[in-house]
Chain A
Amino acid sequence: MKHLVILGAGTAGTMMANHLSHHLKRPEWRISIIDERTEHHYQPGYLFLPFDIYEPEDIVKSIQEFIPKTVDLIQASIDRIVPAENKVMMTDGSVVVYDVMIVATGAKIAPEETEGMMGSEWHQSVFDFYTFEGALNLRNKLRDWKGGKLVVHITEMPIKCPVAPLEFAFLADSFFKNKHMRDKVEITYVTPLSGAFTKPKATATLEHLLEEKHINIESDFAIEQVDNENKKIIDYGGREIPFDILVTVPTNKGDAVMERSGMGDDLNYVPTNKATLQSKAYQNVFVLGDASNIPASKAGSVAHFEAEILTENILRFVKGEPLKEEFDGHANCFIETGGGKALLIDFNYTHEPVEGTFPFPGLGPLRLLKESRMNHMGKLAFRWVYWHMLLKGTHIPFVSATMSESGKHYEKTETV
């Protein structure tokens, strides 16, 4: 019996387990998924936790609930992988041997990469919202905060969900307005990029929104250290930004297992073919989701589109057929803009987000790169879609894995 092993039971790994369980069946195939955790977190929900929009129970379920019965769930930790021998060495000394491996170990924050970030103010006045604990501690802080300087900060790219810090700034504006204390809060958005976002058209729209909401922007800021004593962040050029609350997105890195196994780049991301999702170093290893180094957004929607294409490629690989070079970097992200509205962006490796309608050309009902209440409803509905459709690998109607150009207002053939 052949063995397919999936590392990581987060969004990407769980989707692959569900997809492949329909195709690779006993007695020819056995599928295992390895994850030491017991809880599956709806990570987009971390954004809403600090503002009391979601409760913890909205975003946490058990991993087991989403793994098909025919797939073996191994809840144990990995010491390292020996890809040359097709082996996964577990910390308890056991060895898992595979024929095909899928790496879906994700990315996580590494605040220890920045001097002083985990100093005395960590989770006192310096918070992350990319972990459950960080988001929850921040919620408790914001509940009775009297106001001051709120600094929303990105350490370095790439990060998971690159729009999340912007959404945080927009939601903070809304949150303090609703509490009738917006005039007591100064919000500053600090980014290592030259503007609000990585793509020109979306940057223009988002910068306009920041201005409208009186959120200051400090760009080209490469942080050197957090000064806990004087409560400021300082960049390599000596620029200083004071804060009363710092909400930072620390450096993101792939799993340390990749470093121990010699499979990652300098940020522990696994070098991966961006069109086929096959590892560049090992033919029987495939990578999807945040764990790979492909130049696509680290986002659940990307993992979802990848999963549809990777399923086909795995089936081709086991039959000895050539892989399809089909993944185009498709990402689809709602951006909460506060006040019950949201933007929607849809883009890929070569096409930046533009205005238009989605998913039906000319009809919508969702509007691309424009604020609307319908988009906000879409974002909230997405939590249901995530738990009930996305993880189970159900195809989302009318949304294809590769990006559609119709209904979008491109000026010409653009590349980004």
Chain B
Amino acid sequence: MEKVIAGKTIHVNEEGFMTDFKEWDNTIGEALAAENEISLSPRHWEVLGYLQTEFKNEVPLSIRKIGKSGVVDIKEFYQLFPKAPLKTATKIAGIPKPASCI
């Protein structure tokens, strides 16, 4: 389905995850963050950039992997993106929700 955000039209699934990463840009990221009651600091951007790189390299994401990435530890990841950090952070980053292995 389509959604208008930050003056642009993007495609999202039922849960609000963007379905085409090419449509994402920084202003959309900021607007998506605001919807999740987060205002993005430089630390947030570092983590989002890391997630997007992993996505482009087709590396499956998990809390464990992020904790061992050296970019952010799990504790801080939770502070940056409270409650369900992986879900929230991937949503803001414009990449698919990680398919938690069966």
Task: Decide whether A and B are members of one complex.
Answer: yes
**B-contacting residues of A (Cβ < 8 Å)?**
156-158, 162, 192-194, 198-199, 220, 222, 224, 235-238, 266-267, 295-298, 331, 416
B63 touches A224 (CB 8 A): no
State A224–B65 Cα separation when bound (angstroms): 15
CB within 8 Å of A: which B4-20 residues = none
Residues on B with C-beta less than 8 A from A162 are 102
A220 touches B65 (CB 8 A): no
Residues on A with C-beta less than 8 A from B78 are 222, 235-238
State A295–B85 Cα separation when bound (angstroms): 22
Residues on A with C-beta less than 8 A from B65 are 266
Query: If the complex has contacts A194-B87, A266-B68, are A297 and B74 also in contact, measured as CB distance less than 8 A?
Result: no
Label chain A's interface by main secondary structure.
loop
Q: In this assembly, does B75 line the interface, its C-beta being within 8 Å of a C-beta of chain A?
A: yes
B84 touches A157 (CB 8 A): no
- Min Cβ gap B75→A in Å is 6
Q: Which 8 A-B pairs have the closest CB atoms?
A: A220-B84, A158-B101, A236-B78, A237-B78, A297-B102, A157-B100, A236-B74, A198-B102
Query: If the complex has contacts A156-B63, A236-B77, are A220 and B102 also in contact, measured as CB distance less than 8 A?
Result: no
State A238–B82 Cα separation when bound (angstroms): 10
- Min Cβ gap A351→B in Å is 12
Q: In this assembly, does B64 line the interface, its C-beta being within 8 Å of a C-beta of chain A?
A: yes
Counted as pairs of residues, one from A and one from B, with CB atoms less than 8 Å apart, the total is 52
State A158–B99 Cα separation when bound (angstroms): 11
CB within 8 Å of A: which B27-65 residues = 62-65
Q: Can you add 17 more A-B contacts, CB < 8 Å, to A156-B64, A193-B100? A: A156-B62, A156-B63, A157-B101, A158-B100, A192-B100, A194-B87, A198-B101, A220-B84, A220-B87, A222-B63, A222-B78, A224-B74, A237-B85, A266-B64, A297-B102, A298-B102, A416-B99
- Min Cβ gap A298→B in Å is 8
B75 touches A224 (CB 8 A): yes
Q: In this assembly, does B83 line the interface, its C-beta being within 8 Å of a C-beta of chain A?
A: yes
Residues on B with C-beta less than 8 A from A194 are 84, 87
B63 touches A331 (CB 8 A): no
Residues on A with C-beta less than 8 A from B85 are 236-237
Of A158, A222, A236, which contacts B102 at CB under 8 A?
A158
Residues on B with C-beta less than 8 A from A156 are 62-64
State A200–B75 Cα separation when bound (angstroms): 29
Residues on A with C-beta less than 8 A from B68 are 266
Name 23 A/B residue pairs within 8 A (Cβ), A-sorted: A156-B64, A157-B62, A157-B100, A158-B100, A162-B102, A192-B63, A193-B100, A194-B87, A198-B100, A198-B101, A198-B102, A220-B83, A220-B84, A220-B87, A222-B63, A222-B74, A235-B78, A236-B78, A267-B64, A295-B102, A297-B102, A298-B102, A416-B99
A296 touches B102 (CB 8 A): yes
